[in-house]
Amino acid sequence: MPSPRSRTVVAILLLVIPLSQLPIDIYTPAIPRMITELGASSTLVQNSVSAYVLGMALGLVPVGVLADALGRRPVLLSCLGLLCASSVAIAFCGDAWLLLGLRFVQGLGGCACMVVVYAIAADVARGRELTSLSGWLGAAWGLAPVIAPAVGGIIVQFVSWRVLFAVIAVLAAGVAVLVWRLLPETLPASSRVPIEPRSLARALGGALRRPLFLGLTLVFALFASAQLLFGVVAPLLYEERLGIPAGVYGLLALAIGAANLAGELATGALAKRVRPAALGFGAFAFFAAGTVVLLVTGLTAGADVVWLTVGGMLVMLGCGALCPFAYGQALGLFDRNLGLIGGLTSAVCYLVVSVTMAAASGLPDDTALPLAAVYVGCGALGAILLALCLRTVRAPAATPAASL
């Protein structure tokens, strides 16, 4: 049975990790309003998502290295402070280009809520326990796509998009207080890794020379891109193309996000009981089914609220299971430099996500077909990588953690 200390650590991690995703999902229903109020193009405002993701991607490895050298708590607290301050600044922002810069800074703060959280998870759990914990953390992370769009849609419809960023600031400050008061340091001084360029380069080189690690990291990146892309494209399809109010879109996003959450919960619950290949390909089957629905709908109807929602739910169910599955498997290959390795995994992921988001912002937004086309590409490459990786992955209980 887990100790009270371990239960406290896990409980706090479950509260921290949604803050990495919340700044994306809570304001996507506001994108059409922001375009009008800031007097900017849809491409520029949509790229505020890419700016946040790029900030996360570039901050993940440095933050992971600092967490390995200085400890988990001080790095996490510093980044929560940065997230809070940048969110307050965005709430008062009146220029679209300044918005992009502030969103980049916000991403630098938000990245710790992922990389440090998973490093702490790897400090307290290993093997199949880590894969399962990764699933539960993924479920907590997935609460943002479930709840945030609904809350954001209502706030935007009745108040202002600026309030959304004030909410992020308040939540970041509240979680920082909990971390400061209740989270113990999980990385003892004897296990800390000094910041030495040569040793860090060796650790990175060792990780990048492992085909299984690279394959699992790319699986995570592909399906995280598909997951986040829907949240950016969907508001324009629902609100602009189909004429659905922001508040109603928020409720539809709640249902779609619930499917994402169900996938993440499935990974948490099944990782200890189901073979990795069965879990991975079972999740992929849902993603493929959703892609087919969106592709057929895009070819025949352009955009239809029912089929767009059904396809989105199936895609999110698959992505929700695959992302924590791949992340947990990749991180579980190592027992040292976990902040660095977690940062590298997430950095590769979010670099792929930022490129995907930037490219997708120029796609037509009056039909589901471009979204489905991107999903076909992600699915084809993801299926190949899954087949190659899961051929060599054994059940977690039989796979000891390997050192660098």
Per residue, what are the HEC states of 236-277?
HHHHHHCCCCHHHHHHHHHHHHHHHHHHHHHHHHHCCCCCHH
Nearest Cα residue to 82 out of 61, 48, 52, 45: 52
167: left (phi over 0), alpha (psi -120 to 50) or beta: alpha
Distances, alpha carbon 4 to alpha carbons 11, 52, 177, 217, in Å: 10, 36, 20, 32
Q: Would you say 316 and 21 are in contact if contact means Cβ atoms under 8 Å apart? A: no
Same domain, 171 and 238: no
Residue in the block written with tokens 């709430």: 91
As a three-state string, the secondary structure of 129-187 is: HHHHHHHHHHHHHCHHHHHHHHHHHHHHHHCCHHHHHHHHHHHHHHHHHHHHHHCCCCC
Please check whether residues 308 and 174 belong to one and the same domain.
Answer: no
Q: Between residues 210 and 143, which one has the greater pLDDT? A: 210
The domain of 260 spans 210-392
* Residue that wins the pLDDT comparison between 13 and 373: 13
- Is the pLDDT assigned to residue 243 strictly greater than 50? yes
CATH number at residue 382: 1.20.1250.20
Tell whether the model's pLDDT for residue 176 goes beyond 80. yes
Statement to judge: residues 152 and 265 lie in one domain: no
Q: Do 51 and 178 share a domain, yes or no?
A: yes
Residue 68 amino acid letter: D
For residue 389, count other CB atoms closer than 10 A to its CB.
24
pLDDT of residue 403: 31
Q: What pLDDT was estimated at residue 361?
A: 63
pLDDT average, residue stretch 80-98:
92
Measure the CA–CA gap between 225 and 382, rounded to whole angstroms.
Answer: 11
168 and 279 share one domain: no
Six-digit token string for 323? 């992302």
Q: How far apart are CA 222 and CA 213, in angstroms?
A: 14
CA-to-CA distance for 159 and 152, rounded, in angstroms?
10
Q: Does the residue 189 lie in any domain?
A: no
- Does residue 195 lie within any of the structural domains? no
Closest by CA position to 343, among listed 139, 150, 160, 69: 69
Q: What is the spatial distance between Cα 46 and Cα 39, in angstroms, rounded to a whole number?
A: 13
Task: Say yes or no: 307 and 233 in one domain.
Answer: yes
Nearest alpha-carbon partner for 163 in 178, 175, 176, 153: 153
**pLDDT value of residue 401:** 34
Contact yes or no for 401/210 (Cβ under 8 A): no
The CA distance from 108 to 59, in Å, is 5
280 in Cβ contact with 390 (< 8 Å): yes
202 is a domain residue: no
Residue 404 lies in a domain: no
Check whether 95 has a pLDDT greater than 80.
Answer: yes
Determine the average pLDDT of the residues in 323-339. 81
Of 196, 202, 309, 323, nearest to 250 by C-alpha is 309
Tell me the one-letter amino acid at 114: M
Average pLDDT, the chain: 82
Q: What is the phi-psi region of residue 393: left when phi exceeds 0, alpha when psi lies from -120 to 50, beta otherwise?
A: beta
Instruction: Give pLDDT, residue 402.
Output: 33
Residues 128 and 48 in one domain: yes
Residues 46/102, Cβ–Cβ less than 8 Å:
no
157 and 299 share a domain? no
Q: Would you state the pLDDT for residue 397?
A: 39
Average pLDDT in the 170-186 region?
A: 93
**Total of domains in the chain:** 2
Question: Quick one: pLDDT at residue 395?
Answer: 43
pLDDT of the residue at 360: 67
Angle at which helices 18-25 and 161-182 pack, to 10 degrees? Answer: 180
Would you say 118 and 327 are in contact if contact means Cβ atoms under 8 Å apart?
yes
Co-location of 45 and 92 in the same domain: yes
Q: Find tokens 């791949």 and name the residue.
A: 326
Is the pLDDT at 180 greater than 90? The verdict is yes
Instruction: Give residue 101's pLDDT.
Output: 93
* 166 and 257 both lie in a single domain: no
| 312 within a domain of the structure (yes/no) | yes
In a domain, residue 108? The reply is: yes
Beta-carbon count within 10 A of 395 CB: 16
Q: Which two tokens stand for residue 16?
A: 């921290």
| 178 and 274 part of one domain | no
Is-above-0.75 flag for pTM? no
**Which among 206, 260, 201, 208 has a CA at the least distance from the CA of 230?**
260
Rounded distance between C-alpha atoms, residue 21 and residue 148, angstroms: 9
The answer to the question of residue 34 being in a domain is yes
- In 276-310, which positions are buried (b, 16+ CB within 10 angstroms) versus exposed (e)? bbebbbebbebbbbbbbbbbebbeeeebbbebbbb
In a domain, 192, yes or no: no
- Among candidate residues 165, 182, 199, the one where a domain is terminated: 182
Domain termination residue (choose one: 182, 202, 230): 182
Residues 351 and 222 grouped into a single domain: yes
**Is residue 132 a contact partner of residue 268, using CB atoms and an 8 Å limit?**
yes
